[in-house]
Amino acid sequence: MASEPILAVSNVSLRKGQALLLDDVSFVLQPGRFYGLLGPNGAGKSSLLKILYRADKASSGSIKLSGQELATIPRRAYASRVGALVQESVSLSGLSLLEVVRLGLLPRRLDPAEIDTRSRAALDDVGLSHRADDDATHLSGGEQQRLFFAQILALAPDLYLLDEPHNHLDLHFQYRLLDLVRQRGATILASFHDMGLAARYCDEVLLVDHGRIVGQGPIANVLSRERLAETYRVDGAFVDGRLEVRGAV
């Protein structure tokens, strides 16, 4: 029998003016699994993730975290269980790397020694411990992404929401950081445009198109030749677990 879902999304819609960004979205996430959120540009992936990390509110529908309606969970309690790596740029002005990671631990209310230990360990995980006291504004794009990964790794949430986690990362860190997150054994929902990474890491994918979930399951089943043509407008197919694309259609 399946355990209680960590997240249950039922009939969620999101309107902005005349535009329907999410249209009756429903799915559940089971604990400990790695889920990919796939879909073409403008499909609604970031809009959905924003609602899940409470940067936006659904126009209708229900979202439950371990059976509790999201709107009834105190913000701090929610933030200590659900960690997000997001696309929006954040000002790091005047902060050291260590301070940025510490900030991410605020919802946890830990004692200062524990905050320090966790923050330094997380910086080490992402290969930035030697720069702990540097000014965070001086980081490259990929280094900043690693810093935000450190923040979320230090938090150690039950549910990781990752919007294009591979953004700006070189090959080493794409694999290293996704391996690290997966090893935590938490639940992960991550959006991907890189199908190689999605195929390697995701137990299951959710395919979004025009604000609707049009498929859920193992990636090679969801991204059939027909769906790849309809949704991504490419002539392609999964062969031996790898996506082969002949070109755009």
Ligand X SMILES: Nc1ncnc2c1ncn2[C@@H]1O[C@H](COP(=O)(O)OP(=O)(O)OP(=O)(O)O)[C@@H](O)[C@H]1O
Sign of the four-CA dihedral 44, 167, 180, 107: negative
Least Å from the CB of residue 70 to ligand X: 18
Least Å from the CB of residue 135 to ligand X: 29
**DSSP per-residue letters across 56-73:** S--SEEEEEETTEEGGGS
- Of 16 and 233, which CB lies nearer to ligand X in the complex structure? 16
- Of 30 and 59, which CB lies nearer to ligand X in the complex structure? 59
- Of 45 and 64, which CB lies nearer to ligand X in the complex structure? 45
Least Å from the CB of residue 43 to ligand X: 4
Least Å from the CB of residue 99 to ligand X: 29
Least Å from the CB of residue 208 to ligand X: 6
- Of 1 and 19, which CB lies nearer to ligand X in the complex structure? 19
**Contact positions vs ligand X (CB under 6 A):** 16, 19, 21, 39, 41-47
**DSSP per-residue letters across the chain:** -PPPPSEEEEEEEEEETTEEEEEEEEEEE-TT-EEEEE--TTSSHHHHHHHHTTSS--SEEEEEETTEEGGGS-HHHHHHHEEEE-SS----TT-BHHHHHHHHTGGG---HHHHHHHHHHHHHHTT-GGGTTSBGGG--HHHHHHHHHHHHHHH--SEEEESSTTTT--HHHHHHHHHHHHHTT-EEEEE-S-HHHHHHH-SEEEEEETTEEEEEESHHHHS-HHHIIIII-EEEEEETTEEEEEEE-
Least Å from the CB of residue 108 to ligand X: 29
- Of 3 and 18, which CB lies nearer to ligand X in the complex structure? 18
- Of 16 and 225, which CB lies nearer to ligand X in the complex structure? 16
